[in-house]
Amino acid sequence: MVPFPGDFLWGTATSSHQVEGGNANNDWWAWEQAPGRIRDGSTSGDAAQWWAGRAEQDLAWAAEQGQNAHRFGLEWSRLEPEPGRWDDDAFARYHQMFAAAKAMGLSTMVTLNHFTLPRWIVREGGWSSPTIIDRFTTYAARCGRAFADVVDLWATLNEPNVLAFMAYARRRWPPGVGSLLGCFRAQRHMLRAHASAYEALHTVAPAPRVGIVLNLQKFEASRRRGVDVALAAMQDWMINGSMLTALDRGVLLPPLVARPVKVEGLSRAYDWLGCNYYGRYLVRFDPRELEQGFGRHVQTNSTRTEWTDWGQPHPDGLTAQLVRLGRRRVPIYVTENGLFDNDDTRRPGFLVDHVRAVRDAIGRGVDVRGYFHWSLVDNFEWAEGWSAHFGLLELDRDTQARTPRRSGELYGQICRANGIPDRFDEPDAIPKRSW
């Protein structure tokens, strides 16, 4: 059995808007206020109160459990609330959080952009406008200078493939464009911004390690029929393959009849790659599913609702996607992996199975260097609001009390053992606490 490397990173992931609270100056805050856009009618509100000081308490629990890393997000709208005006207090608060994590023994992975945009950049066109490229580059350089001493790994963008699809091809997320060409335009600008930010970080920070985080789900035909096989391959290309090809070759291949676009500086502009993985999609032809390219997702026992679809838990799919990424011969991190499981009955088994899947990828020669579970604490889950619970810490939103879930204690045993222990503690031996 191949062991995990001795310096393997065991952590959890969060993003700024989902846990901080009070991010009133970004596009998601504005989007949440309109009726019908959030599944349970909620808003992010004070979230998990990380900005107000709860971050350090949650991180301390993570470190106590044996975690040795955490993935953070930065909120651009806090750091640059108006064009060209930088908020020193916001920079100081982030530095405080990252320094606290480091003092606790947690390596820091920091994502420059996890979906949200300042409202002022949205008024300039957001990802639909090429003006965002220089804006984002300046922002990246500013962050690189400010946080070089407390950041170990940089991620430029989180899931540009998903953001382009949900916000620009569809209308589920802001700005709700609903256009394939609009989706391609946003992808092009995001990839140009990534390449430019990669160069900027390497210019201003000493020996930074800079990557990008992709959502890589597994698409398979639900039946051995040519049309289902073709549709599964098409969905895989749209979500996964097109982004990987662009990062490899520096050329983005558009849908329909538009011409391929060369993205200057993009080819191999990454020191590592992040894989967000939630599950497998079984695809079947359905002429009514225009939004999905006529490919309906038919899995059962999954985390699908009328609002979202995280796929069917499928650990072998994680191994397959890590092997796919591993062909690039750079370090790979599982930057998100988790389960929407409000009563925490399936998450413990999910965790064990997916950690085994990571070990299997390592055994196949993939240079996987870390696993970040989604998420440390229950958070505002975008269009699902507060209805979908992913946290290892259960959050009572009325009192802000945290209660460790059984899966959180189990993950702690994995972290401390640097892999799957020979024997897990009995569930009754797992301490129950709230604070």
Residue 4 lies in a domain: no
Phi, psi torsion values for 35, nearest 5 degrees: -60, 145
The whole domain housing 314 covers 9-426
Name the CA dihedral angle for 351, 357, 358, 361, rounded to a multiple of 10 degrees.
Answer: 180
Residue 390 lies in a domain: yes
SS3 at position 286: coil
Run of H or E including 219: strand 218-221
Helix axes 347-363, 315-326, angle to 10 degrees: 30
Phi, psi torsion values for 408, nearest 5 degrees: -65, -40
State the pLDDT at residue 144: 98
In the chain, the amino acid numbered 394 is: E
State the pLDDT at residue 435: 42
Give CA–CA dist 61/14, Å, rounded: 14
Residue 431 lies in a domain: no
Please give the biggest Cα pair distance in the chain: 61
Given the DSSP bridges, would you call strands 295-297 and 280-285 parallel, antiparallel or unpaired? antiparallel
- Reported as a pLDDT band with limits 50, 70 and 90, residue 289 is low
Residue 433 lies in a domain: no
Give CA–CA dist 183/163, Å, rounded: 9
Tokens representing 352 are: 């064990």
SS3 at position 108: strand
- Reported as a pLDDT band with limits 50, 70 and 90, residue 291 is low
Run of H or E including 272: strand 272-276
pLDDT cut 90: percent of the chain above it: 82
In the chain, the amino acid numbered 307 is: W
- What is the DSSP code (8-state) at residue 309? B
Give CA–CA dist 76/87, Å, rounded: 10
Give the number of domains in the chain: 1
State the pLDDT at residue 292: 67
Give the mean pLDDT of 406-423.
Answer: 96
Give the mean pLDDT of 277-306.
Answer: 70
State the pLDDT at residue 369: 98
- Reported as a pLDDT band with limits 50, 70 and 90, residue 255 is low
Give CA–CA dist 249/254, Å, rounded: 14
In 69-215, beta strands by DSSP E: 69-73, 107-113, 153-158, 210-215
Give CA–CA dist 239/214, Å, rounded: 9
Give the mean pLDDT of 163-168.
Answer: 96
Residue 434 lies in a domain: no
Give the mean pLDDT of 81-110.
Answer: 98
Residue 432 lies in a domain: no
Helices (H), 155-275: 160-163, 180-204, 226-236, 242-249
- Burial of 321-346, coded b for 16+ CB within 10 Å and e otherwise, reads bbbbbbebeebbbbbbbbbbbeebee
In this structure, of 249-263, 281-295, 348-362, 367-381, the range with the lowest mean pLDDT score is 281-295
- Residue 117 C-alpha from the chain's centroid: 16
Give this prediction's pTM: 0.95
Measure the N-to-C terminal CA separation of the chain; round to a whole number of Å.
39
Residue 225 lies in a domain: yes
Residue 353 lies in a domain: yes
Give CA–CA dist 206/145, Å, rounded: 9
Tell whether the model's pLDDT for residue 248 goes beyond 80. yes
Here the CATH number for the domain that contains residue 25 is 3.20.20.80
Phi, psi torsion values for 163, nearest 5 degrees: -60, -45
